[in-house]
Amino acid sequence: MVLLKSKRRVETLVSSTGSGIFATAQGIRAQTFDRAFHGARYDSDVIRRDRNQSEFTKTIWDYLDSAVSGPRIKNGKAALRKHRIKLNAIEARYGVDKEVVVAIWGLESAYGSFKDDNNVVQSLATLAFDGRRGRFFEAQLIAALKILQNGDTSPRNMTGSWAGAMGHTQFIPTSYLAYAVDFNEDGKRDIWSVDPTDALASTAAYLARSGWIKDQPWGVEVNLPHGFNYALANRNIRKSPSKWAQLGVVGANGKSVPNYGMASILLPAGGQGAAFMIFKNFSVIERYNTADAYVIGVGHLSDRIKGGPKIKASWPRSDRALTFSERKKLQRRLTAAGFDTRGIDGKIGPLTSQAVRRFQRSRGLVPDGYASFGLLKRLR
């Protein structure tokens, strides 16, 4: 019964002339729809996973231990060697470092060795019908139907994650329509094939069209001087490397960072962990996934695949990440102590970071604005 409701809803979205985005003007044919939905059912496991995502998050160091592990670096170098000819051609066409493309491939599907096999149409229809972000998944579903109608793949082969991300490098359907390319010129933009060429080229095309700057790093590990003004570690504050050097910020090698362009200072673990000078290419990778940890993971993995060094600074491994409920508890306690976070939502944004920084200053702590478990304990 639920499948019938879901199917009817999607049929309405596709055929309704008064539905804007989902009007028949988008041209989804009945034959395409029927083929896509043949055998599809309401998938309760998809909804369970959507509504039961863990409230726990990893610390940056735990994430990097996995994302940039020894085996992942070794396998990345092997993938680079195996596909060097096509990766060189992709880099030449799009101007995006082949190691960055390989790093995304490594994080998204372990270089093609692990790909989810969920029926994408079934997952997206289920989420459009019964999920938290119905409008978003409705748009993804229509995009998936367009992909099928274009003949790039078949309903059987259109597999992906429970949330609809597809292929070697996990494109959502709307991103596929906008950026996927037929690099091997076989008439299909096939990001699912055993041959990863189209998937890797599509990833490079995505980054290039998002503003990738050739020969600019994502970021560089830096050392901060004693007495550094941590309020300057702000994405909105951008200076040239030479200006940062005048403030005592130099590379981890002790030398001034080359002039790659305007940059910000990022402290993913506050003042007790590594510091990075990040450039525009950081925000380009961020278009792929907005999490700082993911961007650092891709960037550092690409550096290691190139033969670059490990991160030199140590991490505060005695600390741990706050759970969602603990983040809200931190906000409540800061506000009660007179350091208003302007809301209790469990999200550590700029307002909460500012409140943390004010509290730290009041207690003679390093005012890095980092919401740690240790800070929560101090507020008890």
Q: DSSP states of 11-70 as a string?
A: HHHHH-TT-GGGSGGG---HHHHHHHHTT----HHHHHHHH---S----HHHHHHHHT-H
User: Would 363 be classed as within a structural domain?
Assistant: yes
The tally of domains found in the chain comes to 2
Q: What is the pLDDT of residue 8?
A: 53
User: Would 347 be classed as within a structural domain?
Assistant: yes
User: Would 278 be classed as within a structural domain?
Assistant: no
**282 close to 220: Cβ distance less than 8 angstroms:** no
CATH number at residue 150: 1.10.8.350
Q: CB under 8 Å to 327, separation ≥6 — which residues?
A: 346, 347, 348, 371
**127 close to 221: Cβ distance less than 8 angstroms:** no
User: Would 368 be classed as within a structural domain?
Assistant: yes
Percentage of the chain surpassing pLDDT 70?
92
**337 close to 359: Cβ distance less than 8 angstroms:** yes
- Domain limit, last residue, from 166, 190, 224: 166
User: Would 19 be classed as within a structural domain?
Assistant: yes
CB count, 10 Å around CB of 38?
Answer: 10
Query: What's 309's DSSP letter?
Result: P
Residue 93: pLDDT band with limits 50, 70, 90? very high
Residue 131: pLDDT band with limits 50, 70, 90? low
Cα separation, 239 vs 279, whole angstroms: 10
Task: Give the mean pLDDT of the chain.
Answer: 91
Cα separation, 129 vs 110, whole angstroms: 31
- Domain limit, last residue, from 127, 148, 166: 166
Domain coverage including residue 2: 1-42+118-166
User: Would 154 be classed as within a structural domain?
Assistant: yes
Indicate if the pLDDT at residue 306 is higher than 80.
yes
Q: Using one digit for the tens of pLDDT, what is the confidence trace for 207-239?
A: 999 999 999 999 999 999 999 999 999 999 999
**155 close to 38: Cβ distance less than 8 angstroms:** yes
Amino acid at 112: G
